[in-house]
Structure 1
Amino acid sequence: MTVTDEVPTTVAVGPREAAADAAGAAALLEIGDRLGLLPHIDQGQSVTAARLAAEADLPEEGVANYLEAMSSAGIMVDSPDGEGGLRVADDFDQIQYESGYLSWAMNANRPFVNNAVEFLRAPLDSRAKYPRDGRQVAVSSEWMGSKGFYPVALQTILDARPSRVVDLGAGTARLLIEVMLQLPETTAVALDLDGPSCEEAVLAAERAGVADRLTVIEAPIQSVAEDPTPVLGADVVHAGFVFHDMMPDEEHVADAVLANCREGLRPGGMMAITDAVPYVKNIRERRFSAIVSYYHKQFMRRRLLSEEEWTAKLSGAGFSSVECVPHRFPTGRLFRATKA
């Protein structure tokens, strides 16, 4: 039998194989992240293997091999500067966005997949025994969020033109920094329980030139139930994918946080909550919604609230109106609630 590059005539081949594309791109991007190379290339700057190797303190041959693969995949292209370097392709953001779904579903949640039997038999013990890789969760979520839910949240806040905005579970404050860059008079508060994320938020604000307008608080969002100081006088309070972490065990705490946010907002102020809703059945969302819902229910032991439950909860906290806006991110919803 002779092995050739020819495709059997019985196989229908289109211009692209979407599943194969996504798998290849996600693996290459994850490797680039773990090597520390992505921060040096994802802004479109021209790079060479020698320069990247020096910046990341890696063997030049290995970096050259990685760039060769990225170029062959069409994720990077020849730089127009004529110096023999490479830059990311024009559709790099879209490639990264699509890769985020595969990276999150399969690798960020790898402990659930690999230890499914143990999680079914002893869920509480397994959660402690097989923790997720926090970095993998954060990176893949950011890739998905770049086009999946950040744009709607950002535009919602910008449309409100707040003088003061608070983000609960702000991470590295990417959203707040973008708001402040577009609204030069706005001040912001970033609250997050993760110390390294708070440290990076401070550095990112300094790099962006908005450090004097950002206050970073290292604390869990549950702390707002006891101390509403961070949200006092805000025009907008945003919270992205953090409230479900309190469901169901700390639902009473979540209710207290919502009530204090409503009290702390200025009249006419807005609470904007992005979260996942369970088992959405429409064709666009149903498959990714299914795995998100299943992971949270079976492995994380979290209860995702439906659109109706979120509306009732925000109304119960005293907000005068609640609007639900779907995200591009399947299963994601933005709930906008107004204080009269």
Structure 2
Amino acid sequence: MSSVLAAFEMAGLLTDLENGALTRATVKDRGSDQAALLGASLRYLIQRGLVEESGDAFTLTDYGRDVCQDKGYLVWLVGGYGEPLRRMDAFLSGDKRYGVDYPRDGRWVADGAAMLGRKDVVPHALRLLEGIEFDTALDLGCGNARFLLTVCSRFGAGGTGVDISPEAVVEAEKAVREAGLTDRVRVVRGDAGDLNSIAALADTQLVVTFFLLHEILAQGRDALVAYLSDMAGRLPDGARLLIAEVQPPAEGDHRPWFTPEFTFVHALMRQTLLDSKGWSEALADGGFTVREVLEDDMPGGILILAEKAR
């Protein structure tokens, strides 16, 4: 069921289901093979109680709408990590390695994270930013740049986004054009882990890293502290850093969704996670003063606003 719903979103069909625009006629208008598969998919979702026929249209049931509130999580997991998870047998047997033989799909990781973030992270992040002043923002690992665009639009700032995924950069550049912000927001393809290549740091008053720093942490805590120290050394005085991360579930914490999955796929990538205390200590060791720590609506999610130490 998760795979089918994620596929509908990734194919641009879930919005049609949400607004009643997917009808018998529109299904039949597709090629015969596609129409047959789409029809079978809709029948399956009807059998599972997520979709119903209302007149000539297929629409989500109340249960379906509840489930689709979390479509970002489904796209992130199924679209982003579906292939490596499908090949767990090869990883467990030692025949293949994650990232070398079967990597994640960067576009759907970025798009899924952006979708889930809009509802569960972004509102809290914007409230944190309301208490500070900045004219320039830099989003490291910006994905499709939706958060960067929101920040620049709301606070009148200019911004730069950096992402290593070519697919994500294409989506981000399209979003910048659609937002009419090409005059003050740009997106570049680059490795956010290589600060030497990011000249914008010297003039940046706000750095955003959403779900990036745990990838630096994968190289060890010393590497994370060195990265933060390098960043702090390049930023102007008074610059802020806003990070979003997910804490690992506490021992015996049997959360029903997402946090265990997030922890598991990062273990697959040989990455570990820190709790809020661990992140705060690493930031302090890296030259930042933590100003605020906030739990958001993402299961296990935390936001930390820090400032370059004086």
Give TM-score scaled by structure 2 length.
0.78
How big is the shift at 1:302? 0.8
Task: Kindly indicate whether the alpha-carbon contact (under 8 Å) linking 1:52 and 1:63 is maintained by their aligned counterparts in 2.
Answer: no
| Aligned equivalent of 2:102, options 120, 124, 130 | 130
Pair 172,111 (structure 1): closer, same or farther in 2 beyond 3 Å: closer
**Bigger Rg, structure 1 or 2:** 1
Is the contact made by 1:166 and 1:236 (CA closer than 8 Å) also made in structure 2? yes
Q: Which residue of 2 aligns with 1:30?
A: 6
Aligned match for 1:109, one of 81, 105, 114: 81
- Any conservation in 2 of the 1:228–1:261 contact (CA below 8 Å)? no
Q: Pick one of 98, 101, 112 that aligns with 2:70.
A: 98
Quote the sequence identity (%): 23
Cα distance in 1 between the residues matched to 2:134 and 2:71: 33
1:207-218 to structure 2, matched below 5 A, reads 207-218=178-189
In the TM superposition, what is the alpha-carbon distance from 1:138 to its structure 2 partner?
3.6
Query: Would you say 1:170 and 2:142 are equivalent positions?
Result: yes
1:308 matched residue in structure 2: 277
How much has 1:262 moved relative to structure 2? 2.4
Distance in 1 (alpha carbons) for counterparts of 2:266 and 2:93: 16
Q: CA deviation at 1:252?
A: 5.0
Quote the residue 2:177 is aligned against. 206
Q: What is the one-letter code of the residue matched to 1:195?
A: P
Change in Cα spacing, 1:262 to 1:283, as seen in structure 2 (3 Å) is same
Matched, 1:261 2:231: yes
C-alpha distance in structure 2 between counterparts of 1:173 and 1:160, whole Å: 21
Partner of 1:12: none
The answer to whether 1:277 aligns with 2:244 is no
Cα distance change, pair 287–92 in 1 and its aligned pair in 2 (3 A): closer
Gaps of 5+ in 1: 1-22
In the alignment, what sits opposite 1:15?
none
CA distance in 2, matches of 1:75, 1:159: 43
- Residue aligned with 2:209, SS: strand
Q: How large is the RMSD of aligned CA atoms in angstroms?
A: 3.8
- Gap change, CA 1:292 and 1:316, over 3 Å in 2: same
Amino acid at match of 2:283: L
- Deviation per residue, 1:50-86 (Å, 9 max, x gap): 67888xx75685598467887895668979xxxx777
- Change in CA separation of 1:94 and 1:230 when aligned onto 2, cut-off 3 Å: farther
Amino acid at match of 1:203: K
Alignment match, 2:113: 141
CA distance in 2, matches of 1:269, 1:34: 37
Partner Cα distance (2:184, 2:61) in 1: 34
Structure 1 range deviating more: 232-241 or 92-101: 92-101
Give the total of aligned pairs.
306
Q: Secondary structure at the match of 2:272?
A: coil
Pair 155,41 (structure 1): closer, same or farther in 2 beyond 3 Å? farther
Contact 2:203/2:235 (<8 A) preserved: yes
| TM superposition shift of 1:174 | 0.5
| Post-superposition offset of 1:148 | 2.6
Distance (Å, rounded) in 2 between the aligned partners of 1:321 and 1:296: 25
Q: 1:42 to 1:227 in 2, by over 3 A?
A: farther
Change (3 A) 1:163 1:285: farther
User: The residue matched to 2:188 in structure 1 has which SS?
Assistant: strand
- Residues 308-339 of structure 1 show CA distances to partners (whole Å, capped at 9, x for unaligned) of 22111111122233432222111222121113
Tell whether the 8 Å contact from 2:114 to 2:143 is kept in structure 1 after alignment. no
CA contact (8 A) 2:110 2:144 kept: no
How far apart, in 1, do the equivalents of 2:20 and 2:154 lie?
23
Q: CA deviation at 1:171?
A: 0.9
Q: Tell me how far apart the structure 2 counterparts of residues 219 and 91 of structure 1 sit (CA, whole Å).
A: 41
* 2:120 partner letter: G
**Amino acid in the other structure paired with 1:31:** A
Q: Tell me the TM-score normalised to structure 1 length.
A: 0.72
